[in-house]
Amino acid sequence: MKFFFTGETPRLPEPNPRRDRTAGVPNLPAHILDRHRARVLRPGDAPLAPGASTPGSTIYRYNRLMMCHKLLENDAQLSELDAALAVQGMRIDREHLAGKERSARMHRAKVTLGDRVTPAQVDAWTVMQTLRGAVDGGKCSQELISRLRLEHLLVGAAWTAVGDGHGSPSGGPYGGERLAELTYPGRTPVDLVLPLPQRRPVHALPGKRRPVIAVLDTGIAPHPELPVSDRQEDRDTFVTVDNALQEAISSDCDAEGPSIDGPWDNRFSDDSLLGRVAAYYGHGTFIAGIIRQLAPDAEVRSIRIMHNDGIAHENECLAALTALAEEAERARAGDETARPVDIVSLSWGYVDEDIPAEVPAHAHSALRALIERLNGLGIAVVAAAGNFASARPFYPAAFAAGPRSSEAAPTISVGALNPNGTVAMFSNDGPWLSAFATGAAMVSTYPFLVEGSEETEQNFRQGRKRESLDPDDFESGYALWSGTSFAGPVIAAKLAAAMLSESPVDMAAQDAQSVALRVQSALKAIGG
């Protein structure tokens, strides 16, 4: 297993008006966009308010706006928005908000048509431009508009066709899909005969506490090497889930789209009549297996926020990160019942419509604010750099380039290496990267899927039969897979292992100063 840090302070690319504003955007098929109520923002087609700059391409949910939760609680300011939107015949859906508890975890509002009688297209980008035009007309305040953003689609960073499961990888470099398909195998069943490392009992660890890595992904599936329990049960299992948090996340999922219904990665097939294994089924289980191999004494806290087509909604991610920050704050305040995480591993992201030179460090991004909040609490965030062979910043990984206090934990952006240590052809790269780790042709745990292929099941009933490798038959419980999705967990696991073996601070200490020293010592020990 290879990894290294770049040795340079991550920074965003220098301003360049000739930069390609369409690079690094996932090539999602139309049915995936429709499923998640999303559109691709194309610079040449984007409506612009007077004086607005041409945006970069991104993918966003067309009938949702991200808002500061304090704005959602302020009916007077919502009315101000409605008045500005009336010129387009649109409004903020108050009925959508009325049935929900407005809390610090809620960041999304629905945009709908108003009382107009003529047909119109609801589009969050057009709404944003309309509101910016209203500022110039004196009908809306700039401070209010600054608290609004698009809700982006967050795309998983595994080398798999989103929504397809076979064929060309998702969002490969332009013109390079076929090359990538030939040089990097997709998700492939394999068998493993090597024993996994021994896991020590918790009473044998420093501070009698395990380092905890939160994995916000597709959830977890049963596997004998990855015993699971609900964290409320207070059992010492390698993976824990949080059913109470999952219920809160599920309650805010859109009724119009796919839902997050619990912590389990449970819809293994796609929606076609062919019944193929869904593109991202097993993604979270595979990541947990990487951590199990490299940091057997750690605990993985699995939080499901991603669908089996590899898509996550920004709002659900913010809800999960907010819950982690709140628990860490209770622990830092002396609450001994709180069990905070030490590291957050994120294997997904998006490209932003705002060019960094025009909106420095995305000052109004709720995702950035939450990651900075976690860093300030001493929690390291490790994020995949993306698989688009692009230097365009991929967020949240590129938040590693933002300013950080010397006492805060880092955000670490991770690109992928081939097994021989060279940079993988598909990996994003740029000055905003912190590290590289093996991410191509990785072997890890995968959900047992005897029924992954109907043909396999029939052959089993009929007795022995010759056949080629069945790409949907994962009854071995292991798979080979590639992507920066799997390079990030390598760094997260190495950091967790170093917290136990190299840090001078006991794992049990939860005061702010000890937490900061522990993560900084572990990072230095692994070369960061």
- Domain of residue 35: give its range: 30-154
Which pairs count as long-range contacts for 71-76, CB under 8 Å and 24+ apart, including other chains?
71/144, 71/147, 71/148, 72/97, 72/102, 72/106, 72/107, 72/109, 73/102
Q: Which of 223, 283, 313, 362 is catalytic?
A: 283
The pLDDT value recorded for residue 487 is 98
Catalytic hit among 217, 297, 309, 354: 217
pLDDT of residue 376: 94
Domain co-membership, 232 together with 344: yes
115 in a structural domain: yes
In which band, very low, low, confident or very high, does the pLDDT at 181 lie, cut at 50, 70 and 90? low
Domain count, the chain: 2
Q: Are residues 148 and 267 in the same domain?
A: no
**313 and 213 part of one domain:** yes
370 assigned to some structural domain: yes
Is 252 considered catalytic here? Answer: no
We report the CATH number of the domain holding residue 320 as 3.40.50.200
What average pLDDT score do residues 20-35 get?
A: 88
Catalytic status, residue 217: yes
Asked if residue 8 belongs to a domain, the reply is: no
Instruction: Give the phi and the psi of residue 496 in degrees, each rounded to 5.
Output: -65, -45
* Integer angstrom CA distances of residue 19 from 14, 24, 56, 349, 466: 10, 12, 10, 20, 53
> What is the predicted pLDDT for the residue at 467?
65
- 130 and 193: one domain? no
Q: Which of 76, 44, 487, 527 is nearest to 291 (CA)?
A: 487
Q: Is the pLDDT of residue 11 over 50?
A: yes
Domain for residue 18, yes or no? no
Arithmetic mean of pLDDT, 421-440: 95
Boundary-marking domain end, from 135, 154, 173? 154
Q: What angle do CA 333, 299, 379 make, to 5 degrees?
A: 40
251 shares its domain with 373? yes
Are 136 and 272 members of one domain?
A: no
> How many C-alpha atoms does 387 have within 13 Å on its Cβ side?
32
* Cα-Cα-Cα-Cα dihedral sign, residues 436, 437, 438, 440: negative
pLDDT at 165: 35
Q: Is 453 part of any domain?
A: yes
Q: pTM, whole model, 2 decimals?
A: 0.91
Of the residues 170, 427, 453, 485, only one is catalytic, namely 485
Partnered with residue 61 across adjacent β-strands are 38
Annotated catalytic residue 453:
no
Residues 302 and 434 in one domain: yes
Pair 445, 360 in one domain = yes
Q: Are strands 442-445 and 90-92 parallel, antiparallel or unpaired?
A: unpaired
pLDDT digits (tens, 9 = 90+) for 443-492: 999 998 755 544 444 545 555 556 677 788 888 999 999 999 999 999 99
Domain boundary among 137, 154, 171: 154
What's the pLDDT band for 169 if we cut at 50, 70, 90? very low
pLDDT band at 132 (very low <50, low <70, confident <90, very high): confident
Same domain, 303 and 206: yes
**What pLDDT sits at residue 314?**
92
Q: Are residues 235 and 291 in the same domain?
A: yes
Whether 21 is covered by a domain: the verdict is: no
Contacts of 450 (CB under 8 A, 6+ apart): 456, 457, 460, 473, 475
pLDDT at position 348 = 97
Cα distance between residue 468 and residue 80, in whole Å = 63
First to last CA, the chain: 16
The confidence band for 83, taking pLDDT boundaries of 50, 70 and 90, is: confident
| Burial category of 38 from C-beta neighbours within 10 Å (exposed 0-12, middle 13-18, buried 19 and up) | buried
- Among residues of the chain, what percentage have pLDDT more than 70? 84
Per-residue pLDDT, 454: 47
The answer to whether residue 77 sits within a structural domain is yes
Residues 248 and 312 in one domain: yes
Residues 121 and 245 in one domain: no
pLDDT tens column, 374-383: 999 999 999 9
Residue 160 lies in a domain: no
